[in-house]
Structure 1
Amino acid sequence: MTAVSELRTPFTELLGIEHPVVQGGMMWVGRAELAAAVSEAGGLGIVTALTQPTPADLAAEIARTRKLTDKPFGVNLTILPSISPPPYDEYRRAIVDSGVTIVETAGASPEPYMDFFHEHGVRVIHKCTSVRHARKAERVGVAAVSIDGFECAGHPGEDDIPGLVLVPAAADALSIPFIASGGFADGRGLAAALVLGADGVNMGTRFLCSEESPVAEEVKRRIVAATELDTNLIFRPLRNTARVAKNSVSDEVVRILDGGGTFADVQGLVAGSRGRRVFEDGDLEAGIWGVGLVQGIIRDVPPAGEIVTRVVREARVVLDAALRRFSA
């Protein structure tokens, strides 16, 4: 892997990283090896807190990451409504007691936790799917925002606004650094995001399909073979839209809900334990699993660090070529 010169933006300056490329927190995926590889290459790797079964396990995973890199990395903490919620307070305590100073929050508003994070010197990056939510996150004191366009894997919100509009709209509305998420996998995307006003990119599916990603090789091969047409939007009638891989399970979920079914009618199909089997066992029909439209332009499974340096190098080439093309 050949090093590339730093690509600095307000986001990299804020976090002390070399390149404005973030490996988003992904359930069952954001583990030490992947996060460390991204950070070691100059990006920002993210360990996913709730992938770890207990706060003590999270502390151990953070320690493992530190053994693999001495560069900055963050921890994702996704806060969602649940019948039996995880012990979020204990996970937050494990994060700060481990000395982590960068946290990516998602799901519910981070407002109830901002005093705690500020008290411990933690800079919060909050994931949003709309400008209005990004502006609220700025008001409650987050250091940066990651704004997800409709193209993203997982939950794109209910507004259906793609990045080409959402990113410049966020640039017009925010005064804090922000990164663009959803639809990014190469240097063309990073260059476009920067031109549209973002300070970097967050990539999930691209890093899901990397050597260090702790998922079955069958999943990675499917991403490489798939096109941008091979996803489903599930839970649309429930106003809780999620973008997942197209397979027999997600097809059935769409059919049931479009036919007037309720969440209870699909609950067994969408259980998280089934999705975990996809990643661990490579059974692509075992359950639902998140993947973005960007799989249509992913064609290999390189090391995560190579992804970072390749994206930055390509972005420089694209920006230089555009300048030459349109200069007088």
Structure 2
Amino acid sequence: MNGITSVLGIKYPIIQGGMGNISNAVLTAAVSESGGLGTIGAGTMYPDEVEGIIVETKGRTSKPFSLNVALGVSPNVVEVLKLAVKHKVAVVTLSAGNPAPFIPKLHDAGIKVIAVIATVKQAKKAENAGADILVAEGYEAAGINSALETTTLALIPQILANVSIPVVAAGGIGDGKGLAAMLALGASGVQMGTRFIATQEAPFHETYKKKLLQANDHETVIVGRSVGRIRRLLNTPYSQQLLQAEAEGITIEEFAELTSEEIHKKGALEGNEEEGFMNGGQVSGLISDIPAVRELLERMVNEAKNQLKIAGNCI
């Protein structure tokens, strides 16, 4: 076992990223049942919605899973975190904000805490606040991202040089070679979002999955630069509408409305490319099949082991 598998009680050092309001129990449980750490993203959902997904997930798996709370996004942070304690969720992932005020109470309840960070400064603060694990996310990742636009390859070594707790790499990872690369850099594991969209268990629209299968190496676009709210999306008619709106001038409030979780659901769940968006990381161009989650994780781990052996022979 490495740093995160022992801390989290999982088989493989692979974590599912939070997916906001398109999160669901089916995929979360499938990832945990297959040896990774499944994650429920609370997004902007009401507490009763989040609780329903937690209860369903616990009904589908007895293995650990995480509840991701985006502190700067969720309007119900305290209430949602209380649900994690109430239902004895094994892990809470805190992102998009300062995790420090919440870590002590979560630890008191026996909950492990993962903090998502994008800079060395954030990493140090999260470690000092008591986070058990860090997820360092580069701007290759899908969805909401750091405005600093630091790549995963450059970010991970700098984080590792400044903290002593386990670090998980996120952004641009979708196969065993990516896992091997991050382990070779010194990361204790990886977090993936986009790759899990294109799996058999993921209950997302077939149009979304088809877009990922057909994606090439430049199939994603960055929106939100004009208002300092970076988000990486698949290149669709709606994402082009967003870029045009930015070019013509848009306020941060207007951008927030145009990228709300309800519009996210239109794209991801309804397959509506004209009126909704689909998150997608730069790894989209690597996706060529739609395996079962268990098959994906086992394949990644075997490929990573083989790739690390090959790399060792090159030195």
Q: Same fold (TM over 0.5)?
A: yes
1:4 aligns to what? none
Helix, strand or coil at the partner of 1:17: coil
- For 2:34, give the aligned amino acid: A
1:148 aligns to what? 137
Helix, strand or coil at the partner of 2:92: strand
Deviations 1:69-91 (A, max 9, x none): 2221111111225xxx6322111
Equivalent runs, 1:70-89 vs 2, <5 Å: 70-80=62-72, 86-89=75-78
1:163 aligns to what? 152
In terms of mean alpha carbon deviation, does 293-302 or 242-251 score higher? Answer: 242-251
> CA 1:191 to 1:60, structure 2 compared with 1: closer, same or farther past 3 Å?
same
2:165 aligns to what? 176
- Kindly state the Cα deviation for residue 325 of structure 1 after the two structures are TM-superposed: 3.4
In terms of mean alpha carbon deviation, does 64-73 or 118-127 score higher? Answer: 64-73
Match of residue 25, structure 1, among 18, 23, 29: 18
1:298 aligns to what? 287
Helix, strand or coil at the partner of 2:158: helix
Match of residue 49, structure 2, among 43, 46, 57: 57
Quick one: percent identity of the two aligned structures? 33
Helix, strand or coil at the partner of 1:173: coil
C-alpha separation in 1, matches of 2:252 and 2:59: 43
> CA 1:30 to 1:256, structure 2 compared with 1: closer, same or farther past 3 Å?
closer
- Kindly state the Cα deviation for residue 265 of structure 1 after the two structures are TM-superposed: 5.0
Equivalent runs, 1:81-230 vs 2, <5 Å: 86-230=75-219
CA-atom RMSD in angstroms = 1.7
In terms of mean alpha carbon deviation, does 143-152 or 23-32 score higher? Answer: 23-32
2:41 aligns to what? 48
| Alignment check: 8 A CA contact 1:217 1:282 kept | yes
Match of residue 16, structure 1, among 9, 12, 21: 9
C-alpha separation in 2, matches of 1:182 and 1:174: 20
Q: How many residues are aligned here? A: 315
- Kindly state the Cα deviation for residue 264 of structure 1 after the two structures are TM-superposed: 4.8
C-alpha separation in 2, matches of 1:262 and 1:228: 31
Helix, strand or coil at the partner of 1:37: helix
C-alpha separation in 2, matches of 1:37 and 1:267: 31
Helix, strand or coil at the partner of 1:254: helix
- For 1:35, give the aligned amino acid: T
Deviations 1:159-203 (A, max 9, x none): 221111111111111100010000000000000000111000000
> CA 1:261 to 1:50, structure 2 compared with 1: closer, same or farther past 3 Å?
closer
> CA 1:156 to 1:267, structure 2 compared with 1: closer, same or farther past 3 Å?
closer
Match of residue 58, structure 2, among 35, 54, 66: 66
2:226 aligns to what? 237
1:36 aligns to what? 29
C-alpha separation in 1, matches of 2:237 and 2:281: 17
Helix, strand or coil at the partner of 2:217: coil
C-alpha separation in 2, matches of 1:36 and 1:266: 33
Deviations 1:244-279 (A, max 9, x none): 111222222222323443235545533332221112
> CA 1:115 to 1:274, structure 2 compared with 1: closer, same or farther past 3 Å?
same
Helix, strand or coil at the partner of 1:299: coil
C-alpha separation in 2, matches of 1:237 and 1:136: 28
2:305 aligns to what? 316
| Alignment check: 8 A CA contact 2:20 2:261 kept | no
Equivalent runs, 1:251-290 vs 2, <5 Å: 251-264=240-253, 266=255, 269-290=258-279
- For 2:101, give the aligned amino acid: P
Helix, strand or coil at the partner of 2:125: helix
C-alpha separation in 1, matches of 2:247 and 2:117: 27
C-alpha separation in 1, matches of 2:67 and 2:256: 29
Helix, strand or coil at the partner of 1:112: coil
- For 2:211, give the aligned amino acid: R
